[in-house]
Chain A
């Protein structure tokens, strides 16, 4: 055994295989140390600019620094290991074209992502609606955004789809308006109906006094007189206000001996003075947020 060990010790494996073990070891050390340095540098840079950038921009900068730095570290490490980088870069150029052609959709998503981030239409934590999806923006990445729906489902929406589709930012403004459309019988005096509706809004504590609630006649229909009660509220009180207003209206009408039929409840995210385009005329609640 001792003789075998002695013979093995005499072998220079690097010479046998033809590798420069010292160079490979240096390359590995360069890669490990370089990767750590890149991570630390990226973290320090992001920390330095954290006040001037929003969350998603900061994450994009961090990733860009990380990927670029890692690519440089790999090239330097290969060079240290004695691998000809010039040849690799040439091959990488050809490979890059091939990958580029094969990943057009991904590149399109990346570019769309950059536009979305620069546009600043929404940010992490906002509630947005796009197509049939409504949810809280859980993350904005290079390729897609992640939406967390209210029933706890995570949806990935490609950035390219977002660029082409309308997006509604529901929580962009701190207050919103809710319109409750009711139909009352022709036998009820219109003035009395409007007065009762307004008092119901005034009694609801979470309904904002300013901008003022409004009541107005919408139209005369076959079923009766359609009237609208519009109330403003802080968007975080959405559910509470919706329930409270409906309850207050019901209570006020019962108290006054009046009857009504709910035509629709609609919530817009507009600003004062904005004109509503269309009115829902469904028999059921039309807003499903």
Chain B
């Protein structure tokens, strides 16, 4: 029986020099030469390369991390949620990869962070006070490829008295950690309660307990902890949920 191949995002996986690794649309190659790592990352016409002077026992690791900006989703057609009802969505968010190198310090250093899918900018909210968000293409992952997306379960509950039409949805993935379970990446669930266009919605970010209890493992912590200030800001923008 052959040894089980570790997925690229396993915490103990290391980049093997000379090996070519494709994650989503991102292709990574690394070579090691005289205490120097050369890393080349390609996506379409874009090339990012880094050279890193390292110790003899140095290693490189690739970790999945959430996108640094909120991610905008646009369903192909508006999702209508009647008053008092809720809808469960499984959103596939292309992960960023963070290449880390050991330097002898307790924590590895980040060499580079790149998206695994072509990323385009968009704007959410008013032009004089909104915020930048990411839009990924393709929004639907290609089955059979390397795991390059993290699934975020989102529950939207319509607590208002009118029908909620979800035309756009911004998910602040930077507030959720990434976990591995059954060879896939997923985040704790996010619950949104829509209370009407004139009131701020409430957002709840789940914790990792239920995933860990089912044998999952936390791979990357959240980029930014969801403090009350951030949540309050999120609520304000979520007024545009029906937008």
Query: Which A residues form the contact surface with B (CB < 8 A)?
Result: 172-175, 205-211, 232-234, 271-272
Contacts and interface: CB of A to CB of B under 8 A. Distances in A.
B121 A206 contact: yes
A272 B128 CA distance: 9
Contact of A205 (B120, B128, B132): B120
Contact of B128 (A173, A210, A234): A173
A211 B128 CA distance: 12
5 contacts: A174-B129, A205-B121, A209-B120, A209-B121, A209-B123
A173 B122 CA distance: 15
Indicate the member of B118, B128, B129 with the most A CB atoms within 10 Å.
Answer: B128
A272 B126 CA distance: 9
Given A174-B132, A232-B123, 9 more contacts: A173-B128, A175-B123, A205-B119, A208-B123, A209-B122, A210-B123, A234-B121, A271-B126, A272-B127
Interface size class of B (residues with CB under 8 A): 10 to 19
B132 A211 contact: no
B145 interface: no
B135 interface: yes
A5 to B, nearest CB: 69
Contacts of A272: 127
A233 B123 CA distance: 9
A20 B176 CA distance: 75
A211 B123 contact: yes
Interface string B105-140: 000000000000011111110111111100100000
A234 B134 CA distance: 13
B128 A209 contact: no
Interface of B: 118-124, 126-132, 135
A272 B130 CA distance: 12
Contacts of A172: 128
A interface: dominant SS: loop
A173 B132 CA distance: 12
Contacts of A173: 127-128
B192 to A, nearest CB: 20
B119 A210 contact: no
Contacts of A232: 123, 127
Question: Chain B's interface: helix, strand, loop or mixed, by majority?
Answer: strand
Contacts, number: 41
A270 to B, nearest CB: 8
A105 B135 CA distance: 54
A207 B129 CA distance: 18
A234 B132 contact: yes
B128 A271 contact: yes
Interface centre among B127, B129, B130, B132 (most CB of A within 10 A): B127
A172 B129 CA distance: 10
A210 B126 CA distance: 10
A211 B123 CA distance: 7
A47 B127 CA distance: 33
A174 B120 contact: no
Contacts of B119: 205
A174 to B, nearest CB: 7
A175 B127 contact: yes
A279 B130 CA distance: 28
Nearest to B119: A205
Nearest to A270: B127
A173 B131 CA distance: 11
Contact of A271 (B120, B124, B127, B132): B127
A196 to B, nearest CB: 19
A209 B119 CA distance: 11
A210 B124 CA distance: 7
Contacts of A205: 118-121
Residue of A172, A210, A232 with most chain B CB atoms under a 10 A cut-off: A210
A100 B129 CA distance: 44
A173 B123 CA distance: 12
A207 B127 contact: no
A-B residue pairs, 10 tightest by C-beta: A209-B122, A173-B128, A210-B122, A271-B127, A208-B123, A272-B127, A210-B123, A205-B120, A271-B128, A208-B122
B130 A174 contact: yes
Contacts of B127: 173-175, 211, 232, 271-272
A209 B14 CA distance: 37
Nearest to B124: A210
A75 B173 CA distance: 61
Contacts of A175: 123, 127, 130
B239 to A, nearest CB: 16
A272 B129 CA distance: 12
A233 B127 CA distance: 10
Nearest to A234: B132
